[in-house]
């Protein structure tokens, strides 16, 4: 057995030892024991001599085992102030010794077997022989030369490489662990580590649980270290219940600057994240609504924020009336319209939603609906303030005077709401109907947007405002205003029972 020392990677010292195949049964005792235990516990895994089966372990099992061998030293448990030096650890890795000129050809065929760790080179110089290289192998896939698959052995044979396995002492440092491995090692055993965070430009936005709070600064620093481009980590310190829906947040680590820039669906938005609402989880919903719009349509964005409905709509050549009560959102909305070069297509307001509906929206609707029959475009009203938007629907009641326009021209509302009900779609339909004073059962569709918390859904109800609601002194049959519903939650019989003549509540 020879012992060689050589600098590697982050100027660390490494040791290579030769061992014969029988000895390699004992190559990684700790890893093997852990692996064998895992295999015994795993259902549907057939243990045959235990060695060969490693190569056919399902992905999940492989990953779990990796997290044991490649987990930081146990004495980092409970650390609240990050000490990167405490993460040093040496693990024994199998390596294959090959002539340097065949490395590239061989690596293509050894992808499965090669070691894959952050910051670890898979091929290093052979400290003993300048003409050779060492290929680092995955200790959970390769224990002895028997662990190679047939195709791998064939290529080794073709290239005249001995499948003999050597062992190599590899020093891991903080840089070589993944954030999840670091936090799992530090936080109390058996409790949740951070499952994820929202990324808003350079900011990692976390929502820490109570048991994670003693480690909050360390967690913030790990997020910054392990996620390129993240330079600030903040924690939400209460639920969003303020008027402007921006988060109250605490800086955990990194720069205090909350002025940020994000890209969503190919558009750019700039804003101060501490002062306005922004949720990266809504990008799909923003594009779903934008996809419904055609060039020439009119969009009223009642709770516009910094513009994620407004800007794509204006880019589609819609005329947009965008409003937000928060002066900061209003400021950034204007800024983002200019930034995305749609200033000409958007009129921006800083009003309460009700005043916006009863002022600029009413005025514009009167003009738009007068154009009536020759108009091919549609009118859309987006109301994304899920905690309250339904309450604003009553502003549509008797908003307009005069003769109703034809039903296909009536404005289409997309109104968001949360629901904790067992039947969220029905709950939202009923509450929206109550606010308008009509049943929306047969003339609305409800789209599930996202699960906000256990038992709390965010939904979007879409409907055309019935003329009986929008115009003063109307008495009409609801059936006259029914469009084919996009999605019905009930059977047709149940719907027909609810069709009835209604009188506008003026």
Ligand X SMILES: C[S@@+](CC[C@H](N)C(=O)[O-])C[C@H]1O[C@@H](n2cnc3c(N)ncnc32)[C@H](O)[C@@H]1O
By the rule CB under 6 A, 311 interacts with ligand X: no
Sign of CA dihedral 151, 67, 47, 92: positive
CB of 141 or CB of 331, closer to ligand X: 331
By the rule CB under 6 A, 303 interacts with ligand X: yes
Angle CA 361–363–365, to nearest 5? 65
User: Is 380 labeled as ligand-binding?
Assistant: no
Q: Is 471 in contact with 404 (CB distance < 8 Å)?
A: yes
Q: Which span (34-42, 158-166, 303-311, 469-477) binds ligand X, by CB under 6 A?
A: 303-311
Q: Does 304 bind ligand X (CB under 6 A)?
A: yes
Is 330 assigned to a binding site? Answer: no
Q: Per CB under 6 A, does 415 bind ligand X?
A: no
325 near ligand X, rule: CB under 6 A: yes
Cβ 347 to ligand X, closest distance in Å? Answer: 15
Taking the complex as a whole, the smallest distance from the CB of residue 203 to ligand X amounts, in Å, to 16
Nearest to 275 by CA among 263, 262, 257: 257
The site string for ligand X over 261-280 (x = CB under 6 A, - otherwise) reads ----------------x-x-
Q: Does 426 bind ligand X (CB under 6 A)?
A: no
Please give the distance of CA 272 from its chain centroid, rounded to a whole number. Answer: 21
**462 near ligand X (CB under 6 A):** no
Residue nearest to ligand X (CB): 305
Site residue total, ligand X (CB under 6 A): 20
Torsion of CA 486, 490, 493, 494, to 10 degrees: -120
Helix ranges restricted to H, 45-112:
59-69, 103-109
Strands 249-254 and 259-264: unpaired
For residue 448, give every residue at least 6 positions away whose Cβ sits within 8 Å of its Cβ, in sequence order, or none.
424, 425, 457, 458, 459
205 is in an annotated binding site: no
299: contact with ligand X by CB under 6 A: no
Contact segment (CB under 6 A) with ligand X among 75-83, 241-249, 361-369, 419-427 equals 241-249
Nearest to 407 by CA among 499, 474, 298, 481: 481
Q: Which of 220, 353, 424, 437 binds ligand X (CB under 6 A)?
A: 353
Establish whether 384 is an annotated binding residue.
Answer: yes
Residue 201 assigned to a binding site: no
Nearer to ligand X, 115 or 203 (CB): 203
Give the residue from 418, 357, 365, 410 showing the smallest Cα distance to 390: 418
Query: What's the CA gap between 91 and 34, in Å, rounded?
Result: 14
Half-sphere exposure of 395 (CA within 13 A, CB side): 21
Burial class of residue 172 in the structure, from the number of CB atoms within 10 Å of its CB (0-12 exposed, 13-18 middle, 19+ buried): buried
Q: Is 369 annotated as a binding residue?
A: no
Which segments of 326-404 does DSSP mark as H helices, in order? 327-339, 353-356, 362-370, 389-392
Which segment (153-161, 201-209, 251-259, 323-331) binds ligand X by CB under 6 A?
Answer: 323-331
Nearest approach in angstroms of CB 270 to ligand X is: 14
- What's the CA gap between 367 and 344, in Å, rounded? 19
Among 139, 201, 305, 485, binds ligand X (CB under 6 A): 305
Sole binder of ligand X in the list 89, 205, 245, 481 (CB under 6 A): 245
Site for ligand X in 58-117 (CB under 6 A): none
Structure tokens at 232: 């600030």
282 binds ligand X (CB under 6 A): yes
Residue numbers at the binding site for ligand X (CB under 6 A): 243-245, 277, 279, 282, 303-305, 308-309, 323-326, 329, 352-353, 384-385
Known binding-site residue numbers: 286, 324-325, 352-353, 384
Known binding-site residue numbers for S-adenosyl-L-methionine: 286, 324-325, 352-353, 384
């Amino acid at each position: 057995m020879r012992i060689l020392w050589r600098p590697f990677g982050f100027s660390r010292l490494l040791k290579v030892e030769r061992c014969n195949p029988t000895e390699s049964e004992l190559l990684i005792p700790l890893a093997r024991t852990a692996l064998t235990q895992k295999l015994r516990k795993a259902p549907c895994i057939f243990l045959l001599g235990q060695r060969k089966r490693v190569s056919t372990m399902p992905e999940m099992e492989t990953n779990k085992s990796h997290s044991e061998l490649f987990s930081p030293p146990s004495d980092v448990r409970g650390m609240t102030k990050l000490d990167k030096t405490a993460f040093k650890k040496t693990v024994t890795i199998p390596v294959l010794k090959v002539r340097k000129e065949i490395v590239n050809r061989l690596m293509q065929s050894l992808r499965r077997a090669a070691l894959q760790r952050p910051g670890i080179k898979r091929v290093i110089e052979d400290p003993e022989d300048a003409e050779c290289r060492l290929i680092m192998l995955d200790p959970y896939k390769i224990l002895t030369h028997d662990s190679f698959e047939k195709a791998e052995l064939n290529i080794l044979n073709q290239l005249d490489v001995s499948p003999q396995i050597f062992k190599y002492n590899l020093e891991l440092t903080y840089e070589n662990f993944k954030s999840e491995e670091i936090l799992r090692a530090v936080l109390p055993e058996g409790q949740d580590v951070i499952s994820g965070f929202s990324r808003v430009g350079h900011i990692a936005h976390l929502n820490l649980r109570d048991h994670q709070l003693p480690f909050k600064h360390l967690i913030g620093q790990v997020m910054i270290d392990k996620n390129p481009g993240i330079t600030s980590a903040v924690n939400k310190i209460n639920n969003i219940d303020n008027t402007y829906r921006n988060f109250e947040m605490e800086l955990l680590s990194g720069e205090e600057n909350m002025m940020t820039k994000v890209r969503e669906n190919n558009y750019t938005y700039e804003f101060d994240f501490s002062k306005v609402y922004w949720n990266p989880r809504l990008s799909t919903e923003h594009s779903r609504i934008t996809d419904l719009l055609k060039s020439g349509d009119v969009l009223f964005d009642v709770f516009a924020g910094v513009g994620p409905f407004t800007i794509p709509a204006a880019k589609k050549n819609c005329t947009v009336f965008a409003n937000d009560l928060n002066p900061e959102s209003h400021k950034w909305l204007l800024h983002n319209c200019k930034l995305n070069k749609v200033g000409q297509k958007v009129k921006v307001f800083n009003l309460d939603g009700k005043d916006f509906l009863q002022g600029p929206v009413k005025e514009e609707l009167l003009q738009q609906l007068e154009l009536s029959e020759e108009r091919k475009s549609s009118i859309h009203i987006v109301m994304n303030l899920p905690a309250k938007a339904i309450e604003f629907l009553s502003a549509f009641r008797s908003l307009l005077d005069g003769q109703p326009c034809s039903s296909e021209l009536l404005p289409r509302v997309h109104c968001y709401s949360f629901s904790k009900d067992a039947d969220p779609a029905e709950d939202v339909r009923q509450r929206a109907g109550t606010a308008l004073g009509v049943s929306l059962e047969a003339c609305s569709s409800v789209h599930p947007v996202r699960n906000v918390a256990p038992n709390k859904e965010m939904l979007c109800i879409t409907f055309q405002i019935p003329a009986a609601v929008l115009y003063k002194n109307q008495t009409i049959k609801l059936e006259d205003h029914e469009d084919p519903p996009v999605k019905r939650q009930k059977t047709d019989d149940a719907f027909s029972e609810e069709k009835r003549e209604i009188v506008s509540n003026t």
